[in-house]
Amino acid sequence: MIRRRPSRALPTAWAMLACLVLAQIAYPLTGGAARARLTVVTVVLGYLLSVTHALLTRGPRTAVALVLVTTGGGLAVEAVGVATGVPFGDYDYSGGLGPKLLGVPLVIPLAWTWMAWPGWLAALRLTRSPAARIIVAGVGLATWDVFLDPQMVSAGYWTWHDPTPALPGVPGIPVGNYLGWLVVAVAMMGLLGLVGGAAPRPADADQPMYALYLWTYASSVLAHAVFLDLPASAVWGGLAMALVALPLAVTLARPRRRAVPV
C-alpha cells in the first residue's frame, strides 16, 4: 500500500480551509440572495475540502466511501425526511438554496459530508476502540446541527410544520430533529467505519481537519452570539458541540500519541 505523504496533503488542505474561512467570515456581512449564494458556495468549499483531504491522506477507497455514505446517505435520509417526516419531523425546504432533487436542495447532502469527515477524524484522535469511535464521531457530527438548524431556519431556508417541543430560546426546530440527527449520524459513522477501509495516517496530515472542526465550533458560537442575533443557539450549540470540540482541543495541546489506522 502506498502511503500518502503529508507534504502533499497539508498545503492543499490548508489553502482550501483558508478559502472556506473567508467565505464564512463574509456570511454575516451579506443578506438576501447574496447570502443564499454564499451559503451554497461555503458548503461546496467545505465539501471539496473534506473529500480532497480524505483522498490525499487515505486514498480513493476511503474518499469514495465517504461520498457514498455521507453524500448519498445524506440525500437518501433527507428525501425520506421531506416525504415522511421521519426522522427529523415534518419539514420542507424553500427554494433559497437552489435546485432540488426529491424535494432536497442539491447542496444539502454536501453539508453532511463536509462535517462528517472532520467529525470522524476528531473521534479517531480521541478514541481507540471502533465502537467508541463511531459514537464519538456521530456525536461530533450531530451536535453541529444545534448551530446549523437555528441559523438556516432563521434565514428561511427550511421550515418545520410542527416545531414543538423546542429547546428554550430556539423556536422553530423540534427537539426530535436533533435526536434524529444523532441516530442518523451514528449510523453513518458506523457505515463509514465498515466500508471506508484501513489506511495509515501520515503524521500531522489531519491537522487542517482538526482546525476545521475547532474553527466551526468557535466561529459558530461567536456568530450566533454576536452577528446573527441567535444568543440561545449560541449557548445550546456551544454546550453540545463542546462534547467533542473541547476534548479535541485538549488532546491537541498534549504531546502526540501513537498514530492508529482509520
Q: What is the pLDDT of residues 156-195, one digit of tens each?
A: 999 999 999 999 999 999 999 999 999 999 999 999 999 8
pLDDT greater at residue 80 or residue 28: 80
**Where do the structural domains in the chain lie, given as residue ranges?**
9-253
Q: Which pLDDT does position 254 carry in this prediction?
A: 83
Q: Which pLDDT does position 2 carry in this prediction?
A: 42
Q: Is the pLDDT of residue 257 over 60?
A: no
Could you tell me how far CA 145 lies from the centroid of its own chain? Answer: 8
Share of residues in the chain with pLDDT > 90 (%): 86
Q: Which pLDDT does position 16 carry in this prediction?
A: 97
State the Cα–Cα distance between residues 19 and 27, nearest whole angstrom: 13
Amino acid at 59: G
| pTM for the whole structure | 0.93
Look up residue 222 and give its three cell numbers.
461567536
Q: Which pLDDT does position 197 carry in this prediction?
A: 56
Structure confidence at residue 10 as a pLDDT band (50, 70, 90): confident
Structure confidence at residue 57 as a pLDDT band (50, 70, 90): very high
- Average pLDDT over the chain reads 92
Ramachandran bin of 145, using left for φ above 0, alpha for ψ from -120 to 50, beta for the remaining angles = alpha
